[in-house]
Amino acid sequence: MKNLSTKAGVLGWPVEHSLSPRLHNYWLKKYGIEGSYEALPVEPEKLAALLKALPVQGFRGVNLTIPHKEMALKIVDHIEPLAQQVGAINTIIVREDGSLEGRNTDVFGFAQNLRAQQVDVKGKPVTVLGAGGAARAAIVALREMGAAEIRLVNRTREKAEMLKREFGDLLPIYEWAEYPKAFEGTSLLANTTPLGMKSPETKSPFDLSALPKTAVVTDIVYTPLMTGLLKDAHARGHKIVDGLGMLIYQAQPAFKAWFGIEPEVTPGLRATMIEAL
Ligand code: NAP
């Protein structure tokens, strides 16, 4: 399939809230690429037909957001091994022959956001709050980064057990009510639950006093940028890493795959994104 246009987008339901168009259009403009990246609302029952039509509609690829990340895995023609491990794809690339390749760039986004802030978890214990889709990406990323132990704290124990069955002994489970035990001696605390989202006034439910002062605290939530958890951590002197970085870094490999240029993550881009929060 030759002469692909420079069309890409994000599919979700709903999708109006997505910041991905702002991000990719910033890069398209910066690199002088004549193309477009749009938010496309797609009902779950229409996802398969729409994905199959991407090549004939001239798309280079798309991103997927809630609720399509898991379902799309069953629709695409090729899946990278990392996405298989996560059980979800957030990026589709239309190959030259018109087949669809699914990747998961949330893993790279989560890891790169930490690496960019010189966070090193190699050989150290880390703690993850949550056991949903974002947690799965974070767990695969932390395993790739060489964490010695990934302590999992989730409200519903069964969901944590499911992850433990997949990831094995690397993943000790802690009861939600006993989270302080999982904080003791940890090198990183990562919130992957939606707790703290869109509620700047809401206080974080977590008491951080069991966290070592050297622990880094990161939040996958980025609306607001400074969640209650990050505010508390900052006040206690912890190094903090916000969730906007993950959103930006997960877009980097997707843009490269579609448009052939590795886009730069710059303070200007971050400022543009913050304006939209
Ligand atoms: P998900 O699959 O629905 O999982 C949500 C997880 O949060 C579950 O483990 C759930 O626990 C837990 N949870 C939800 N509400 C809770 C509450 N009130 N108290 C305690 N635990 C609660 O969602 P997801 O796809 O993982 O997304 C989670 C968050 O990550 C969302 O806010 C999403 O926007 C964000 N995210 C950010 C990025 C980024 O680039 N920064 C990327 C992906 C996702 P149970 O198992 O008990 O239900």
| Prediction pTM value | 0.96
What is residue 198's predicted lDDT score, i.e. its pLDDT?
82
pLDDT digit string (tens) for the chain, length 277 residues: 444 468 999 999 999 999 999 999 999 999 999 999 999 999 999 999 999 999 999 999 999 999 999 999 999 999 999 999 999 999 999 999 999 999 999 999 999 999 999 999 999 999 999 999 999 999 999 999 999 999 999 999 999 999 999 999 999 999 999 999 999 999 999 999 999 888 766 789 999 999 999 999 999 999 999 999 999 999 999 999 999 999 999 999 999 999 999 999 999 999 999 999 9
Catalytic-labelled residue, pool 7, 69, 124, 164 = 69
Going by C-alpha positions, the residue among 132, 134, 127, 136 that lies closest to residue 216 is 127
Pocket lining: 246 vs ligand 1, CB cutoff 6 Å: yes
Between the CA of 195 and the centroid of ligand 1 the distance, in Å, is: 8
Q: Which residue has the tokens 């890891």?
A: 111
Question: Given ligand 1 and candidates 20, 192, 218, which is best to mutate, with the most ligand atoms within 8 Å of its CB?
Answer: 192
The residue whose CA has the least distance to atom 25 of ligand 1 is 133
Contact between residue 141 and residue 167 where contact means Cβ atoms under 8 Å apart: no
**What's the token pair of residue 102?**
């699914």
Q: Is 74 exposed, middle or buried (0-12, 13-18, 19+ CB in 10 A)?
A: exposed
